[in-house]
Amino acid sequence: MNELQKSLILESSSRFLIPQGVKVSYGTAGFREDASILSSTVYRVGILAALRSLKTQSVIGVMITASHNKVSDNGVKIADPSGGMLSQDWEPFADELANAPSPQQLLQLITEFVEKERIPFDGVRPAEILLGRDTRPSGEALLEAARQGVTSIVGAVASDMGILTTPQLHWMVRARNKGIKASEQDYFEQLSNSFRCLMDLIPTGQSKCDGMNDKLVVDGANGVGGAKLQILHKLLNVLDIEVRNSSQDEGVLNDGVGADYVQKEKVAPRGFGSKDAGIRCASLDGDADRLVYFSVPPESNAPIDLVDGDKILSLFAVFIREQLSFLNEKEDIKNFDKSRLGIIQTAYANGASTNYLKHLGLEVNLTPTGVKYLHEKAADFDIGIYFEANGHGTILFSETFIEWLEVRSNKLSSGSKEAEKAALRLLAVSKLINQAVGDALSGVLLVEVILKHMGWSIHRWNELYHDLPSRQLKVKVADRTSVVTANAETVVVRPPGLQEAINAETAKYTQGRCFVRPSGTEDVVRVYAEASTQEAADTLANCVAKLVDQFLG
Ligand code: G16
């Protein structure tokens, strides 16, 4: 780095000093805090993104969002060249950079890192960053802080892509790096074209079925997803979708609405009630990277029927498996074995879903919470389906498998045989479902077309298996980082004695299962409990929450 570069960093970072006493950490999906203390963090992430862009000689994305968190929070997610989350080996640098106490120490850190990583500065393609934000009021100023961070690296270009869903920005970064057209319109066109293609491939006579209501009502969490879905809906012109709780409505982001609320509390979001009984409903989260479905009972106090990420995963798995079985009937692809389809879940996956998927003969893998872990594991397969119970997930297709499908589908004469149609369907799924990150909008379209393909109502879908009763709680503790876990977060290794106490409590319940872990997006320890009855799951979760409190105070 030359002297001009150094003075530019010193000068611009002096405008973004860290508030006294603030320490931030890179969590499950980037940095997330109260928006009022975030500008220095976001500014520094801008620098990091520019360095990452120079290092990889690719376009990088910075998304200003706190997703499911309350409206006064904000945060920042970084999209790597593939469109996935920032490579995990850069996370410690992100932490150090965000917490460097002064501009001089910041500069020293950057200088050392640039040397260590051999980040090229001269005679290379300049850094290029796409910036996006959700609808939070703090987003505009924070995006400006990110822009200033990016442009403190000489030659770096920051493009403001405006208000987007998080998955749209990740999609754009991936598309740009693949040399594909990458505007928002291109995103909508890719989704709508591949959706139409799947609709055209629905077996004849399958599009209507008893008890199937064609209308879908979507809760937009009062965030960015609702408005974007409306644009997509207009383009599609075939689905009957009503959006409620869109950012254009009056409500507060994620307040009594949204996928996180619906999935954790198991209640209908604001604006939904017994009038919606029998209708298929879905809920997005604040930045539209999560999706859950639900139906509302006719009685006003009865619990909703939640169709969570595990069931979306199961629906996708059943569909993909069916297409693979059509392909397998062909003699020349007998070498296709089951190991090519992998399922990835976390400890939050309902035990009944894991049993169901294993019963289908599928390989189920467990990773810690966070799409960065699930995504990485899913990439080991030709088709990797990953979902968190909270509705965050997607289906990854390997490049070799897509190439193989393309060859297969190019050989088609009229697309009449089931095997050939299956190849076309899988190709269309790979274009519809976001290959960069979980995406509620592409998820909605894929669920809708698969339900039509199967001729299933939401009730039929929900009957795939019966969830074990479960309960999730949050416990506020003095320092959540004092909880350390292992084995994909199923075992507490610190503080000593806590896991033994959890085991003793869990052993009292039929089909009892319980784990605790520190959240990486909220200042809480999360407790998850499962048992044979709702009452037992509630009691187990409450008892373990008390244990957490006793051990951590
Ligand atoms: C983020 C991550 C998800 C994770 C969720 C909750 O979601 O992308 O993978 O499940 O946080 O994480 P934690 O339990 O550590 O708070 P989002 O939708 O909030 O960005």
**Span of 192-196, 213-217, 318-322, 449-453 with lowest mean pLDDT:** 213-217
> At 270, is the pLDDT very low, low, confident or very high (cuts 50, 70, 90)?
very high
Query: Would you list the DSSP string of 475-515?
Result: E--S-GGG-EEETTTTEEEESTTHHHHHHHHHTTSTT-EEE
Nearest atom within ligand 1 for CA of residue 85:
8
- What's the confidence (pLDDT) of residue 334? 47
Where do the domains of the chain lie?
3-163, 215-305, 310-462, 470-552
Is pLDDT of 210 > 60?
A: no
Average pLDDT over residues 111-129: 94
397-443 pLDDT tens trace: 999 999 988 887 776 554 457 888 999 999 999 999 999 999 999 99
What CATH number has the domain spanning 3-163? Answer: 3.40.120.10
Pocket, ligand 1, Cβ cutoff 6 A: 28-29, 67-68, 285, 289-290, 369-371, 388, 390, 392, 519-522, 526
Q: Is the pLDDT of residue 353 over 50?
A: yes
Checking if the pLDDT of 335 tops 60, the result is no
- Does residue 109 register a pLDDT over 80? yes
Kindly report, residue by residue over 181-196, the tens digit of the pLDDT. Answer: 999 999 999 999 999 9
Domain 310-462 is of which CATH architecture?
3-Layer(aba) Sandwich (3.40)
| pLDDT value of residue 95 | 97
Please check whether the two domains, 3-163 and 215-305, share a CATH topology: yes
- 437 or 325: which leads in pLDDT: 437
Asked if residue 14 has pLDDT above 60, the reply is yes
For residue 533, report the distance from its CA to the centre of ligand 1, in Å: 27
Look at residue 337 and tell me whether its pLDDT is greater than 80: no
Ligand 1 atom nearest residue 390's Cα: 10
How much is the mean pLDDT over the chain? 94
Buried b (16+ CB within 10 A) or exposed e, 453-485: bbbbbbeebbebbebbbbbbbebebeebeebeb
How far, in Å, from the CA of 17 to the mean position of ligand 1? 28
Residue range 448-466: average pLDDT? 97
Count of residues making up the chain:
553
Ligand 1 nearest atom to the CA of residue 68, by list position = 19
Distances (CA, A) of 160 to 157, 244, 469: 10, 28, 45
Residue 123 has pLDDT above 70, yes or no: yes
More reliable by pLDDT, 249 or 378: 378
Which CATH number is associated with domain 215-305?
3.40.120.10
Q: What CA–CA distance (Å, rounded) separates 107 from 44? A: 11
CA dihedral angle for residue 36, residue 40, residue 46, residue 50, rounded to 10 degrees: -170
Examine the pLDDT at 329 and tell me if it is beyond 80: no
Q: Flag whether the ipTM exceeds 0.90.
A: yes
Better-predicted residue by pLDDT, 338 or 53: 53
Catalytic annotation, residues: 67
Q: Using CA positions, which residue lies closest to atom 14 of ligand 1? A: 519
What is the band of 207 on the pLDDT scale with cuts at 50, 70, 90?
low
pLDDT at 133 over 80: yes
Q: What pLDDT does 285 receive?
A: 98
Q: Which of the four pLDDT bands, split at 50, 70 and 90, describes residue 330?
A: low
Ligand 1 centroid – CA 202 distance (Å): 34
Distance from Cα 77 to the centre of ligand 1, integer Å: 11
CATH class of 470-552: alpha beta
pLDDT at residue 338, as a whole number: 43
**Cα–Cα distance between 220 and 242 in angstroms, integer?**
10
Taking 70 as the threshold, does the pLDDT of residue 73 lie above it? yes
Neighbours of 325 (CB within 10 A): 13
